[in-house]
Structure 1
Amino acid sequence: MQYPDIQLDLRFSNNLIDIEKEGIDIAFRVRNPAIDNWVIRELKLTHNLLCVHPNYDHQSITHPEQLEEHPKVTCVGLVPWQLKNQQTSEEYSFNPNTHVRLEVDEIQMMKQAVESGVGISYIPDYIALPLIEAGKLKRILPDWKSNGQPFSILYRDRKQIPYRVRLLIDHTLQHFTNV
């Protein structure tokens, strides 16, 4: 470990928390809510994909409107499912409100539920793609995904950034330029 004396305090939430009030030095967010006196640096674009357990029979699903009758797993903050067909540019907004087997407020719980076969879900590509490659999830309607949403790092705009905070910012920016 390069900096063993630095201690991190990590908190994960899908809720839009007041990072200023909570005294947070650095935040990572999907989408870019403007915050006065904070620097927002886009790291990459993310897309949400429709995924299901590999054994789920999804062959009859040829359009997002057909998802209505299938079991679903939803996550607070990721509804409605905004989809765009990458071949035809058709856009479809799906609001999963029937046959929802599980609603969670944390993305990793949603992923676990889909891996366990609970239902279909709308999962960020940075979580879904490695699991699809490993055979733990299957993508359905592969021509459909969300529009790109910026994944950004936010930090206070100030002249005297603590050294430990500057190190994490620099490490993060270096990591995402090498991706």
Structure 2
Amino acid sequence: MGGNGMILSDLTDARILTTLRGTGSFAGTARALRLPTTTVSRRIAKMEERAGLRLFERSTRQVCITEAGEVAADHAAQMLQEAEAAELSIDHLRGAPAGRVALSTPVIFGQALLASVASGFLQAYPDCTLEIDLSDRHVDLIEERFDVVIRVGPPENDEIIVKPLGVVYANLYRAADLPAPEDPASLAKLPIGVLHAGFGPSPTLQLTSAQGRDTTLRVSPALVTMNPWLLREAALNSEMVVVLPDIVAAPAVEEGRLHRVLPDWHARRAPVHLAFTSRRLMRPAVRAFVDYAFEAIPPKLKA
């Protein structure tokens, strides 16, 4: 073999290899580790490519580990034991979380909320550093080596662990010195700004009542953009009614410059989740951020 140290690229490889030796099943390994089966298969194939040998023999009925696989799996088990021992030793010596935490979050959520969360975390844990990626794409938690990912929207099926943080809403806002529309139908007579990536030939605005009733309105938007801060400024400087995430509108509402209109209706609702890997081998800095996020973020979503 080309050297065991090169076969296993990280601890995820080690966990997959040792678990597959025990289960003898790609699907069973995926379930045990809460990984997509495709990830397990792809990782094993890459390990075999680096080894230059089969680590497992596959048939339609079973998966059997080879002699080379046994050697690699023994090494993987030793890696996991050493990693866990190192974490415990470092925790004892350090006494406090330290090191880098890599986080990915959607752009609007990150820009609106994470400044205060990040500064509060770094003040509480001065030996930690945060590396924050603002991206609306669906990042791969394992393949791209993120410690924590914030998701806005329904949870995906391929996460390791997903825990709810709360719900974000987008609602209708207007400058505080302008009258509020009386009902959804009256929005057709007003200039509208919408948070959207673009509309077809017949743009519509869907609203949901507090009782869960939906209504769809034909509108002629004066402004269409995915930048909520641009919409907020437009509302403050015109007669426009705009769709804004509450977390973006909140500062102007608190200052008395904006007010929410049609408060019995909201324009969007999306759950927010925190995704991360198993706490078993989680570094202290990552565990500290996860715990801090669960304390700091939910109150901001309710504000």
Match of 1:18? 139
Structure 2: distance between partners of 1:168 and 1:78:
36
Provide the rounded CA distance (Å) in 2 between the counterparts of 1:22 and 1:95. Answer: 42
Deviation of the 1:82 alpha carbon: 3.6
Q: Is the 8 A contact 1:29 1:152 kept in 2?
A: yes
32-41 vs 16-25, greater mean Cα deviation: 16-25
* Whole-angstrom CA distance in 1 between matches of 2:129 and 2:262: 43
Query: For the structure 1 residues 115 and 160, does the alpha-carbon distance in structure 2 shift closer, same or farther, using more than 3 Å as the test?
Result: farther
CA contact (8 A) 2:198 2:225 kept: no
The SS at the match of 2:166 is: strand
Indicate whether 1:127 and 2:248 are aligned.
yes
Sort the Cα spacing of 1:54 and 1:77 in 2 relative to 1 into closer, same or farther, 3 A: same
Q: 1:94 to 1:164 in 2, by over 3 A?
A: farther
Structure with max Cα Rg: 2
**Does the 8 A contact of 1:19 with 1:27 survive in 2?**
no
- What is the deviation of 1:54? 1.8
Match of 2:266 in 1: 145
Q: Paired residue for 2:209?
A: 85
SS of the residue corresponding to residue 216 of structure 2 reads strand
Report how far residue 50 of structure 1 moved.
0.6
Distance change (3 Å), C-alpha of 1:104 and 1:148 = closer
Q: Normalized against structure 2, the TM-score is what?
A: 0.48
Alignment of 1:34 onto 2:172: no
Matched residue type, 1:8: L
User: In structure 2, what is the Cα distance between the partners aligned to 1:105 and 1:147?
Assistant: 14
Aligned length: 173
Residues 156 and 114 (structure 1), Cα distance of their counterparts in 2 relative to 1, 3 Å cut: farther
Q: Distance in 1 between matches of 2:276 and 2:229?
A: 24
Deviation at 1:31, TM superposition (A): 1.8
SS in 2 for 1:141: coil
Q: Identify unmatched segments of 5+ residues in structure 1.
A: none
Higher relative CO (Cα under 8 Å, sequence separation at least 6) belongs to 1
Residue 168 of structure 1, CA deviation: 0.8
* RMSD (CA atoms): 3.1
C-alpha distance in 2 between matches for 1:133 and 1:69: 27
Q: Which has the higher helix share?
A: 2
Quick one: structure 1 residues 52 and 126, their matched pair in 2 at CA, closer, same or farther if it must change by over 3 Å? same
Q: What is the Cα deviation at residue 71 of structure 1?
A: 2.2
Question: Any stretches of 5+ residues in structure 2 without a counterpart?
Answer: 1-122
CA distance in 2 between counterparts of 1:29 and 1:108 reads: 21
Closer, same or farther in 2 for the Cα pair 1:153/1:5, shift >3 Å?
A: same
The answer to whether the 8 Å contact 1:78/1:122 transfers is no
Matches within 5 A, 1:28-177: 28-58=150-180, 61-76=181-196, 81-86=205-210, 89-94=212-217, 96=219, 98-101=220-223, 103-117=224-238, 119-146=240-267, 148-157=269-278, 159-176=280-297
The alpha carbon displacement at 1:112 in A equals 3.5
TM-score, normalised to structure 1, is 0.74
Relative to its length, the structure with more strand (as a share) is: 1
CA deviations over 1:66-97 (Å, ceiling 9, x no partner): 323422222236986442233x653213465x
Deviations 1:140-167 (A, max 9, x none): 1122124753222222346322322211
2:266 maps to amino acid:
K
Equivalent position SS for 1:114: helix
